[in-house]
Every structure is written in C-alpha cells, then in structure tokens.
Chain A
Amino acid sequence: MKLALRIVIFVFVILPHVSSFGGARHFGFIYEAPTSAPGSFELENWVTWARTTDPERSDEVSFRHEIEIGVTDRLQASIYLADWFYENSPGHSGSTYSDSALELIYNLTNPVIDPIGLSLYQEYKVGDRLFEWESKLIAQKNFGPLILAYNATLEAVWEGQGLTEREGEFQQALGASYEISPRISVGLEFLHEFLFPDWDDAERIRNVFIGPNVSYRHNSWFVTVTALAQPTNTPDEPEFQLRTIFGFGF
C-alpha cells in the first residue's frame, strides 16, 4: 500500500476515533505558552501573503500544512508536512516546494497561576539545499480576558549548494489579544527583526512589523488572521504581510 494512502486512512479513519482538538491560536505570528492536551490532534493550514515593493514589486503566497500532536501534558510536537510558496515577481513566477520541519514545544509554567507562563520551542527544518534551526523562548501572561505574549527567537539558516550560504536572525515579538467573547478575540502584534546575512551584522538590517489580529473559534475549528505592515522600509523585505491560520481537530 502506498504511503500516501496509509496516511489518508490514518488521518480520516483512525484519528477521528482517538483524538481531539489541539487548541486555538490567538496570534498569527506569535506563539503562546500553553501546549496541546495529550492525545489531541489538529491539522493547521497557514497561508501568508507578502508583498515587497522595494526595489521592485513582487508577491509571494506561502503555505504551510501542519499536524499538531499533544504528546504529554507539557510536550507538543508538530510536523510541517510541506512548506511551499507561489511567487509572482518580474523575474519569476511559479510554485516551489520549500521545506518540511519538526517542531517541539515544552511548557514550563502556566500563564494563569504562575507569575509568568513560559515554554521552550525548538524547530528543525529541512528542504532542498536548506537546513534551518530555530529556538524560541515563549512567555505569556493572562490577565482575565487579556493575553500578553512575548517571543524571543534565534534562527540560523544554511542554504545553497553544499549549504555554504549562512544567515541568522534574532526576532522579538510582542502581542496582545483581548477576548471579546469566548469565541472572538482581537489584538495587536509587533515584530522586531535583526537580520544577519552571512552571520554578520555589518549591514545592520532591522525590520519592524506591526498590525492587528482577529481570531474566531467554534467547536473543533478556529481561524486567526493577522495583517502586518512594515514602517521601517527595509529593501527586499515585505512591506505588507497577511497571514491566515485555519485549524481544525478531529
């Protein structure tokens, strides 16, 4: 039996009887400290549209298909089955497979009863002439219906022939989400990126993104949308990004 057929049978026949919802996201670009319940299973689809206008106009729509699994009370694992993107620029137009990845999140403390909720995040991404390593500290505090979240992310990328091209990034992200009702939340997200081409800070590239988010959840599914604009006008970086995450549990 082909592997693809086995996966389809597993996802649509077996999992509905053994699993449940993994949880809803309040943010599009920021991770939250709570991890999924043990035994939960969720499929998330991400769509991110990014428009760059400097030095020339181009559009990229990237897709992520992710399976999220609650392993224990504190450990959550995710598999990015495929990250791929469609690009439309003056020099190129078409779809490209980018990578697949494994993501692990370990929860340390709770954002409601502890002074601050903390989780550790580790991601390994492998693609065509690409290896990426990403670590993240996730902090969160819940004040009643208000969620404040902070992520500090360190990312290292090796790519190209022989993986000789190197790039690093440090990112800080801060977000707030206010629950208007148990189903609807609205908020703000703020990203501050430090890019290190060839692991060097000679170019001193800094990006800032800021914008609103909205999240809606109902029964076993949720959708979260975040729109970010870049006020820093860094060349070759998106001027605008719109991310939608649609997740559902079985």
Chain B
Amino acid sequence: MSSHPEKASAFLTDEPRAHWHDQSVWFVRVKRDRQAKMIPEWEQLRETAAGIKSHTISRMAEYLEEFEKNATANGIHVHWARDAAEHNEIVYRILADHAVTRLVKSKSMLTEECDMNPYLEERGIEVVDTDLGERIMQFLHQPPSHIVMPAIHLKREEIGELFHIKLGTTKGASDPNYLTEAARGHLREKFLAAQAGLTGVNFAIAETGGVVVCTNEGNADMGTSLPPLHIACMGVEKIIPGTHELGVFLRLLARSATGQPVTTYTSHFHGPVRDGEMHVVIVDNGRSAILNSKEHRRILSCIRCAACANTCPVYRRSGGYSYDYTIPGPIGSLLAPLRDLRKYSTLPYACSLCSSCTDVCPVKIDLHHELYTMRQEVVKQGILPLHKRIAMAAMRWVMSVPWAYRMAGKLMRWLVPRLPRALVYSKLNTWGRQRELPPMPKKSFRELLKEERS
C-alpha cells in the first residue's frame, strides 16, 4: 500500500523547497499558456487531436497491423511484447544476438515502466541514459520525478555537487552551462563507445511504417546514428494513422509539454542505418485491458506531455515521488490504479477535482472526471477505509431525514462553542491542524427565515 497523503506530508516538511518546486513547475505551465495563446485555433486543434485519438483507439489493432506491414517493408524488425517481462526479454535477446555490452538510451518512459535498466545490467549490459535529466537520475539511482523533466525536483547546486563526485567538475560550481558542458563531454564518450542505441517513440505512423521521436538534446539522433543497431520501444497507444495526423500532434506536444513551439529535434526513423538494423518493440503491458474498459478507454489518448502534472496544484506541492509510480500527476493517478488499484488506492483522492488538468490536456482527456469515476472503483472493490464508508453512510442517513439533519446541525452549533478549545482542536480534528473551524451561528438559515416571515 502506497499512501499519497503520507508521502506528500513528508515532502511538505521542507516548505521553502515545496514552494520552490511549485514555482519551478508553474513556470512551465505559464510558458505553455504563452505558446498556446499564440495559436488562434488552439481549442480546435485540441478537439481535432481528441477526435483523431478516439478514432485511432477504436481501430487500434488495424492500425498496428498496418504499421507492422509497412515497417517490415521498410526493413524494420517488428516485435510484440505482451508485458514488461516480454519486452525486457526481447530487448535483451536482440542485444545478446549482436553481442552488445554498451547501450545508450534516450527518451523512454516505457523502459522505466518495464524496469528495463536493472534487467539488462544484471545481464552484463551497461545502459547509459543520455538525456541530461535522465542521466542525473541514473547517477543518483533514483527514478524520474516528472515524465518530461525527470530532475525538476533537484536544485542546480545539488546537481553541481553530484557532477563534482561523478564527473569531476569543480567543487561548488553550479552554472548550468558549465555543468551541461561537462555532461556533454562525458556522454560523448559513451556515444562513441556504444554498440546499440535505444529510443522511445512519440508517434508510430501506420501509413508510413516509421516512428517519430521528439527531443531537445538530439540524443536520439546521436544514439541511433553512431551505432549500427537501433531499438525503438513503444506502447501500443503511440500509433497514429498517418502523417496528416502527425502534424496535429506535433503542434500540440511541445507547446503543452515545455512551452516550446516545437522540440529542437523531431526525428523520423523509417528504417535502419546503412548496414545496420532497426527493431521496433510494440508493448501492451496492460494497455489492452484499458482499451477494453469503457470508462477509462480515453486515457489511452495520452501523448505524455505532462501538462496535467505541470498544472496540477497537488503535484506541484507534493512532488513526483509522492505518487510512487513511474508516471506521476493526474494521468499517473489514473494509470497506477488501473495497474494495481489496491496499492495505489489513495491516488484518485490526491486531487481536489479542480479540473485544471482536463482543460489543459491537449487531447482533451476528461482527467478529473476519470479520477472521480476511479474513486467509485475504489469503493466498489471495498478498498476505501471502513471509517470513511461508515461516515458517508451515517451522513447519508442524517441527510435523508430532515429532522435528524436539523437536530444534528443544532447540536453541533450549540456544542462546539461550549467545548474547551483543547478538546475541539484535539488530534482528532484534522481540519483544525492549520485552520480554524467555521463560526457556529446561533441560528441556521431556515430558523432565521421562519423569524423573518413571522
């Protein structure tokens, strides 16, 4: 059992840092607003993207098969993995067949989801994450805390300290340019020595049988141009029908994710490099179960831009680790319980239902409503703590009987002001930890109304 409130409270013990985290992430939301505002047809674009996604999801199998056919014709080897274990085995087999012991990796949350790095490392393969944020997290042996900005929770001084230890940078140096340059030099060696490159996939195009990866650092290109072997790993939901549709998503993705008009690199891979090999591993890992659920199917529309996390007032103030799942934020609060409802039962409640995520989502997933529905799942499965179920049942009873409601209200208003403060604000009063209780007026509205009338 993972508890979001507990982990969030721990994060909030350092309040200045929590505020700093909130502001760093909010800054990205503001950048997103600025970019979105510059597109007069932004809302139409979102609508179109949502339409394309729901169409594609409804014909997922056909498009995936079309992709396989066209990719194969392009000389790409296509593999199908039912789950994380199969995915890891397939990747390992490909690498073992080519006697690869040094792999460079770029832009893949899916391999995080599949826990691939440790699996390959145990089998003697060095895996180097080449994107700066991911590399930082790999040095720390920690997972990303955000799906687009994995090290957003770290201050540059901390990164300076880490690089001093790992890369021998000057002690106390925290200039981002200097640190980035140091990482570059270090990674250049890794690129040159790599025998294979692994990337994620942002979009797989059925019509052309190719995949597209959007990056800012260009590591996907480096990692796939230097070594002869390229493995691209994708979840089934990355499929889109054609290049026309690609245009719609490319306009939305970077603007929503980082507030850039477009990522620095949009790399199209439509076959192996000369004398090389290219493999695409298509992974299900629970996605077809989501496809089969009428209530949650739309979640598969997600293009992993993290705009929902950036706008989420809870994510910003509780940090990525409070979700205890590969993908944090509102979309993660849906994906995690769909994987294991019992373990992640507090995530649907890590949400004030403010619905900012729904309005920011570039593919119009009704995230807050999905979270609302997921709570019903928690109750249906009997996972909601008993005291809450009893409280709700009691409240329902009181509210169903007008005299009981009037009496309960009257009693509360009479009693609370008469009790000693120490008792009212005891440990049991969670509301009162940081807040005063509302005033307890002598008379209710309905009582005053009667007086006004008489």
**Mutual binders A and B:** no
Residues of B that sit less than 8 Å from A by CB:
none
